[in-house]
Structure formats: C-alpha cells, structure tokens
Amino acid sequence: MYTPKNIDDIVFKSEEEKARIDNILSKHKPFPAAGKNGILLFGTWGTGKTTLARMLPNLIEQTKGGEEANAEFIQCITGENGSALITKITHQASLVQNFNASGYHYFVLDEIDILTSTAMSSLKAAMNMPNTIFIMTTNYLNKIDKGVQNRSIIVDFNAAPSKAWLPLANKILTDNNVKNISDEKLLKIIDECGGSARSIIDAISSIKSSIISSSNVIRIDTRL
C-alpha cells in the first residue's frame, strides 16, 4: 500500500490551500507568529487530513534546525469531555525540557470537534502558552471555537478535484512499473472513489495486482 512520504504526496483541494502550508515550510510565512500557533485542517472524511497532520511536526521542526520532532498525537474520543486531555497538554507545554531542537512543543489533535465546549475553551487557553504548536483536524469547522480558529492558520481540506490526483496517480503507477494506463481511465477510477484519499490511493495501488490477476486467468475455449 502506498504511503505519502512528503508534502508533494499530499493532494490539496487547490493551489491556494497548498500554498498556506508551503509558505510555512519554505519560511516565507513566519510560524508561529502574530498570535497564530495553530494549523487547523478542516474537511470531509477520508481526504488525508490526519496523514498531513502527522507529517507537519517533523516538517516544521526541520525548518527550525531540528530533525524528527517529538510530537504528542492525541485522538479525541467521543464520550470523553476532554478536560483531562487539555490538562495533560497544559502540563506538558509547561515543561522546560521537550527534546526538540527548536524548543517547541508539538501537539497533534485529531477530530477536535468532538471536544466539549468546556474543553474547547481550555484548549483556547492552552494555545496561549509559549513555545507551543498545535496541528488540529476537524470534519466540522463550524463546531470549532472562534478563539481556536483565530489562533490558527485554517486550511480547507475538502476533496480535491479528480484531475488534481493525476500526478500522484501516475507516480504510484510508475513506482509499481505499471505502464499504458490512460489519464481517461485513471480519472474514471478516481471519480468512483468520491473524493476519498484512502480509496483513491488504494484503487490506484491495486491496478498492478488487477493486471497480474487478469493475465493469470485460464481461458477455456468453449468451442471444444
């Protein structure tokens, strides 16, 4: 199964949205700065938000002279009010030693719309702590506290148009030594996946095995 390894393996909804991330990683846009120390990725299910969110701490740390970031990944869970979670974040953020060369504490919060309003308010307060960077994902931007949004660079991560997937699709095929698959055929496969990055990558990665299976079919001459 193909696994994205860098920012160019991520398919964004538009060049404008990709530029929001590229500008941070190229240091054209200072981050964190001007009261913004969060990156909030929002969009429908399966578009690759969590994959990118997991990548970003390392990529940001590298722009600050470090290598692999020591990041805390937190999966928000339905049924938990999140208060203990935010207390844990606040405690870790207050520690002087964080093992990152940059001096920053990285927190990746997946599906933060699940947090209660009380926990969301506590998160807003936690984001005021110095030397912290928050990478967050949500399916529902309207459920996120305005204060959290205001402290974040917001990236629309809804489904990318099918044509935007062609460069990555062709790269996956090339890496698997699969040739002579037309863009027209690829677009049909991509369209059938309904914008889900998981489904698209799985479908493209499965083309080679489908070709092998087809070539191994024993054909029986019905005229005998």
**Residue 115 belongs to a domain:** yes
H, E, C per residue of 3-35? CCCCHHHCCCCCHHHHHHHHHHHCCCCCCCECC
96 occurs within a structural domain: yes
Count of domains in the chain?
2
Together in a domain, 172 and 152: no
Does the predicted model carry a pTM greater than 0.85? yes
pLDDT band at 81; cut points 50, 70, 90: low
Lowest mean pLDDT among 41-55, 129-143, 190-204, 205-219: 205-219
The reply to whether 27 and 135 lie within a common domain is: yes
pLDDT by residue (tens digit) across 163-202?
999 999 999 999 989 988 999 999 999 999 999 999 999 9
Where is the domain boundary, 133, 156, 179?
A: 156
- Judge whether 197 and 164 are in contact, CB under 8 Å: no
Asked if 10 and 157 count as a contact pair (C-beta separation under 8 A), the reply is no
Instruction: Let me know whether 107 and 122 are in one domain.
Output: yes
Strand 71-75 to strand 38-42: parallel, antiparallel, or no bridges (unpaired)?
A: unpaired
Give yes or no for a contact between 190 and 173, defined as CB atoms under 8 angstroms apart: no
Domain limits at 202?
A: 162-221
d(CA 75, CA 53): 12
pLDDT of residue 216: 46
